[in-house]
Amino acid sequence: MYKSIAFLFISIFLFSCEEDTTKAENEKIIAKNTQTFNLVNSVWNLKTPTLSPTAQNEVANWNEWQQFVIEINQKPKSNLTAFQLKTKNISSKIDSLQLNIPPQFDKPQVKSRIAALNTKIKMLDTFIHLTDVPQSKIKELIPEINAEIIALVSQWEEIIIKKRIPKEIGEEYMIKALDTARNAKPELMMEKMKQQDSINNSQNKRKSPLLNKK
């Protein structure tokens, strides 16, 4: 009888201690998550820069970019879980972005910029899902991601500007002439050159003042 009562009290005591320990651990986790959320919320300012009208037209039909812009510019508000979901969505959008690049931007330098941005976003997604979130890493990565987005957009602008620069006078004619020379037969080219030399010599003789006097 007494042994049963003693065992009951010990069981209740141990259960109470275990419950208190679990409660303390849960409170510690909640406090840590709250602290992490406050930090992430304070430094989270991911955004895309304003594009020039020409660049905006170039990406207007690039659906993957438009979806990426929406995800980047929508900031979570509720809790740490919302930020974790956001980084997961952004990570998915950047994967889609690099798989479907418009022809005008499908160049090695653009692919390199997207790859660098993808790396930073994947790092953010990894860190923010850890049990013990490294707050310092999150704080460093946010501005780095913004910098990579700016670099990517600047690369587009550079491509557009170079495309719009007019060719120097005569450059297009010279390119066509070179293409003709490459495609022509050597013997025919030599014959044409001799004919042209003969014509030039005749014209020079007629124009020469000394020859006119004679």
Give the pLDDT confidence score for residue 210 in this predicted structure: 46
Contacting residues for 137 by C-beta, under 8 A, at least 6 apart: 123, 127
SS3 at position 46: coil
Per-residue pLDDT for 200 more than 50?
yes
- 7 C-beta neighbours (distance < 10 Å), count: 10
pTM of the model: 0.67
* DSSP state string for 92-160: HHHHHHHHS--GGG-SHHHHHHHHHHHHHHHHHHHHHTSSS--HHHHHHHHHHHHHHHHHHHHHHHHHH
Asked whether 75 and 44 are in contact (CB, 8 A), the reply is yes
Which ranges in 44-107 belong to alpha helices (H)? 53-59, 63-73, 80-99
> Per residue, what are the HEC states of 18-41?
HHHHHHHHHHHHHHHHHHHHHHHH
- Which of helix, strand or coil describes residue 169? coil
CATH classification code of 2-164: 1.20.120
Q: Is the dihedral of CA 158, 161, 162, 168 positive or negative?
A: negative
Could you give the percent of the chain with pLDDT greater than 90? 53
Tell me what pLDDT residue 78 has. 85
Structure tokens at 40: 């992430």
Residue 60 is predicted with a pLDDT of 93
Q: Domain spans of the chain?
A: 2-164
Res 169 pLDDT > 80: no
pLDDT tens track for 15-35: 555 665 676 777 777 788 788
